[in-house]
Amino acid sequence: MSIRLPDATGALRLYEPRAEPLTVRPGPPLASRTVLSAAHVVADPYADTTPDSPAAVDWDATLAFRRHLWANGLGVAEAMDTAQRGMGLEWAGAAGLIRRSAAEARACGGRIACGVGTDQLAAGTLAEVRAAYEEQLAVVEESGAQAILMASRALTAAAAGPEDYLEVYGHLLRQAAEPVILHWLGPMFDPALEGYWGSTDLDAATATFLEVVAAHPEKVDGVKVSLLDARREVDLRRRLPDGVRCYTGDDFHYPELIAGDEKGFSHALLGIFDPLGPLAAEAVRVLDTGDVAGFRELLDPTVELSRHLFRAPTRFYKTGVVFLAWLAGHQTHFTMVGGLQSARSLPHLARAYELADSLGLFPDPKLAEERMKCLLAVQGVEQ
């Protein structure tokens, strides 16, 4: 009972799929860490769309996946990078997603935080950037969700220097009704964000970022850092004001950052916790008991999969996330908004299948195997 998988050289090799999944059952609420999964959207596979047309979303399947995350004890970070903001999901679609998911969260009693950006604006003045942020902030606050102030491509283009970031973010934080999460997304996730906070020097950018937080600590629940640099994140979290949390967005080093050290730890807001949901929740429950070694024993083996999905060009990690959701049975197809299912190669997807299967992530390994074989057959790989 083996499957022939292509590797990066074009050669085929045999892989024997796992017979049984990892057994993880929902447990009590997570206690020691706040954990949010940035969730993907499920496309409508029957919509007659093109890569540059408005997204067509399968709302039933999209909301069902969020219920899956809530049922396992995770919170949902909605309408974020993982949901293809700016890469297939435009603001009108994101606004509908925010409203629907926030209503579902109220019905389920699930935690939700939603992305606030400026993606309805291609480019503009600082005043237009502020207005775009304000429009999205109003939608999120009216939905009852917590706001995540996302990095803005338009602000990157409009800002002349750090002072413009201080002005725009200060304005938004002063008017926010409740404490928000500030999100710093690095250029490896979105090249248009190069030089965010007014400098390509990360030390200078960090100083500006921390200045924003220090000026409004009562309006900042936490900061989410996605720079894939564990040392820099640890340094930053040690410099945060008391009461301001650090949410790791480092999909390469998350076990060690969440576990922490004698001086503190990171909470989590991660795209990799979309495919790892139940396993990640189980690991944090182990950590809740004080068993750091047990936590690392569960989560450390997942890093190879995460590094594979998020390898350069990192912005295309969403393809692997949705692919694994299809193999796991959370959706009936491997179609993405914007046609992004074509963004990763067949050898890349084959390796993602192998790594996820070896971890026991698929609730029905046989279904995952059958779907993988279907994809391989379409690409001309005979079994």
- Whole-angstrom Cα distance, residue 274 to residue 276? 6
- Whole-angstrom Cα distance, residue 173 to residue 195? 22
pLDDT for 25: 81
pLDDT for 63: 98
C-alpha 284: how far from its chain's center? 18
Residue matched to tokens 């009216």: 142
The three-class DSSP label of residue 115 is strand
b/e per residue 61-80 (b: at least 16 CB within 10 A): bbbebbebbbebbbbbbbbb
Of 380, 325, 307, 318, residue with least CA distance to 343:
318
**Contacts with 9 (C-beta within 8 Å, 6 or more apart), sequence order:** none
Find out whether 87 and 313 touch, Cβ atoms under 8 Å.
Answer: no
**Contacts with 378 (C-beta within 8 Å, 6 or more apart), sequence order:** none
pLDDT for 266: 98
Per-residue H/E/C for 166-193: HHHHHHHHHHCCCCEEEEEECCCCCHHH
Please tell me the chain's helix, strand, coil percentages from 3-state DSSP, rounded to the nearest 5.
50, 15, 35
Instruction: Tell me whether the omega of the peptide bond preceding residue 255 falls within 30 degrees of 0, making it cis.
Output: no
pLDDT for 133: 98
Burial of 261 (0-12, 13-18, 19+ CB in 10 A): exposed
- Whole-angstrom Cα distance, residue 206 to residue 334? 39
Distances (CA, A) of 336 to 82, 85, 130, 186: 12, 13, 31, 23
pLDDT for 106: 97
Per-residue pLDDT of the chain (383 residues; tens, 9 = 90+): 799 999 999 899 999 999 999 988 888 899 999 999 999 999 999 999 999 899 999 999 999 999 999 999 999 999 999 999 999 999 999 999 999 999 999 999 999 999 999 999 989 999 999 999 999 999 999 999 999 999 999 999 999 999 999 999 999 999 999 999 999 999 999 999 999 999 999 999 999 999 999 999 999 999 999 999 999 999 999 999 999 999 999 999 999 999 999 999 999 999 999 999 999 999 999 999 999 999 999 999 999 999 999 999 999 999 999 999 999 999 999 999 999 999 999 999 999 999 999 999 999 999 999 999 999 999 999 98
- Whole-angstrom Cα distance, residue 289 to residue 293? 11
Distances (CA, A) of 14 to 18, 155, 204, 383: 13, 49, 50, 10
Which alpha helices (H) appear in the chain, and where do they start and end? Answer: 59-71, 91-108, 126-143, 153-158, 162-175, 202-215, 230-238, 254-259, 277-288, 292-299, 303-309, 317-327, 346-359, 365-378
pLDDT for 10: 86
**Contacts with 276 (C-beta within 8 Å, 6 or more apart), sequence order:** 302, 306, 361
pLDDT for 118: 98
pLDDT for 1: 77
- Whole-angstrom Cα distance, residue 362 to residue 31? 26
Tokens representing 361? 């992530």
